[in-house]
Amino acid sequence: MGNEALESIDISEEDKALFEQSVKDDDAWRESIKGDGRNEKLLTATIAKITSEAAFVNLGGKSERRLELAEITDKNGVLLFKEGDQIPVVVTKSGDRTRISHKRAVKRQKIAEFIAAHKAKEGESAEPIDIEGTIVGKNKGGYIVEADGVEFFMPISLAAFKPDAKPQIGKTVTARLIKMDEANGTLALSRRSYLNAQRKTRKEAIRKLTDAGEIVEATVRRIQNYGMFVESNGVEGLVHYTEISHKGPVNPAAHYKEGDKIQVKMSGYDKEKNRVSFSIKATQPNPWQEIAEQLEVGDTIKVTVANMEAYGAFVDLGNDTEGFLHISEISWDKELKHPNEVLRIGQEIEVEVIALDIENQRLRVSLKKLQPKPYEEFIKRHKIGDRLTGVVTSLKDFGAFLKIEGVEGLLHNEECGWNRSDTAKSMFKEGDEVEVELIKIDYDSGRLSFSKKALIESPIEIYAKKRQIGDVVQGVVRDAKEFGVFVRLEDGVDAMIRAEDLAPLKLEEIKIGDTIEASIAVMEPKKGRIRLSVRRFEKQKERDALKSFNGEDQRTTLGDAIRGSLKK
């Protein structure tokens, strides 16, 4: 508003003078912020007033400018300044609008300090400057990275993120400083330059490690269950859990922690995947060479139980090597479920070497081979015919296995009872105690056979108490073969009639279910065998008939009659 406009306004001379002075002050202020190329200038302002809504600052004239409270409060909303304090501000002009920011001024000051500090070193060293910071914002051109309160700009083209990468806000990155613009107060970064330099440095370091093939110091960076990542001279690689100790696979976390310094040797490099492998055990003498020179299969050695799993135990030989004791080699007891039923960690035991593979670094040992075999001890104490009591350990379709004095033997279904329906599954359950007789020892296979029915009086033995040789009996034919027939007698006892003992009956005319009368020819209760004879029965009938014909006092037989006839 000029002097011409004031002529039309009815105001006092005093007010008119004050207004003209404010215009002059405003013009002077506007002139002061011109000419930095970005319509932006760093000034010192005085806080004139602070209200509940905003702060008002004086930039050198008599006019005051509004400053948002957020510019002078911390993240918790606490005021950082009071009225009368002088603070740096950045004044930005865009068209007719002017924005004042204290926080931007602080950022510009930090950038200026950063540039000043690093420009001073520029002549001393040409070493590149790498910045580790956090991405705090993004615009069309790139990312805003903040490190120690200093803001850097990283163009999208130099960020080297994958096109399908997730939003990067909050991500920590390391990038190389590529530009310091003192005039505009800007710093530019390139993550691509940093990564390219790292690849080049790593490639050179890998080449040196490969050529040297020496033991180097490394730092443990990350520990996983399959191994640990270590860094040596800028090269990061994996020490697989099988490369930590000559003992075999070990848990890295049980021996190391992040930050530990260790001795390693490069053991491999995959050029296609750009992966480096390190080994700790390669830095140590190979104890397996010592084992190869001192041990043979069959040797007895003293070891310490180091670890146990359900399938066996690992034993320490005392020279950074381990052997494996399978659960089947711990005890002759086949029912052993876990090594801890017999062993404990830290226990010293003597074992026999049963397998030795130096090339693959494997050693298998046996504990039970140094213990008496229960079978051999058993047959020293018992003989066939001994009556014993065993426990049913398992039931099968063909019988039951019994354990007696630590040894298992078979009770076959045929030996369970005298009836065909007597089977192990129908008579017993696991854990039952059963009294049996030892009926067989197989010395070659180490197998034992038991019998339950051997302790029970057989139906034939019972039958034999009521009958004797020559008794006439009746039986029903239940089966017929070429060599004879089988008949069922009273009390359910079976007997056989051989074909030659069937006369005058004919084998081919006999049918199952026929009733046959015969006399007992053979009776062997212990063998469970009864044999009948129709032929003998018929002869007996002839004798009985002649006896009846001749009278009780006559002793003439059919043979006598025949001989008398021949004399005549």
Tell me the residue ranges of DSSP E strands in 413-525. 433-442, 447-451, 472-481, 484-488, 494-498, 515-524
Q: Which structural domain range is residue 466 located in?
A: 459-549
Residue 37 confidence (pLDDT) above 70: no
- Domain CATH number, residue 259: 2.40.50.140
Task: Answer yes or no: is 163 within a domain.
Answer: no
Region of 250 (left: φ > 0; alpha: ψ -120 to 50; beta: rest) is beta
Judgement on whether residues 527 and 470 belong to the same structural domain of the protein:
yes
Judgement on whether residues 267 and 312 belong to the same structural domain of the protein:
no
Q: Which of 241-245, 534-538, 548-552 is predicted least confidently?
A: 548-552
Best-predicted range by mean pLDDT (195-204, 326-335, 480-489): 480-489
Question: What value does the mean pLDDT of the chain take?
Answer: 83
Could you tell me how far CA 414 lies from the centroid of its own chain?
A: 46
* pLDDT, position 534: 93
* pLDDT, position 374: 85
Place of tokens 């005021």: 79
Place of tokens 């990067």: 168
Q: Final residue of a domain: which of 347, 370, 393?
A: 370
Task: Record the tokens describing residue 199, joined without a space.
Answer: 């690849």
Judgement on whether residues 293 and 366 belong to the same structural domain of the protein:
yes
Q: Final residue of a domain: which of 398, 433, 455?
A: 455
Judgement on whether residues 323 and 301 belong to the same structural domain of the protein:
yes
Q: Final residue of a domain: which of 455, 476, 507?
A: 455
* pLDDT, position 7: 42
Best-predicted range by mean pLDDT (2-6, 205-209, 503-507): 503-507
Per DSSP, 103 falls in state H
Whose CA is closest to 519, among 445, 560, 469?
469
Task: Answer yes or no: is 350 within a domain.
Answer: yes
Judgement on whether residues 365 and 418 belong to the same structural domain of the protein:
no
Task: Answer yes or no: is 29 within a domain.
Answer: no
Question: Stretch 390-398: mean pLDDT, rounded?
Answer: 93
Tell me the residue ranges of DSSP E strands in 16-117. 40-50, 54-58, 64-68, 86-94, 97-101
What sign does the CA torsion over 329, 335, 336, 341 have? Answer: negative
Whose CA is closest to 101, among 93, 92, 109, 110?
92
Could you tell me how far CA 256 lies from the centroid of its own chain?
A: 21
**Helix, strand, or coil here: 255?**
coil
Task: Answer yes or no: is 378 within a domain.
Answer: yes
State the total domains in the chain: 4
Q: pTM for this one?
A: 0.42
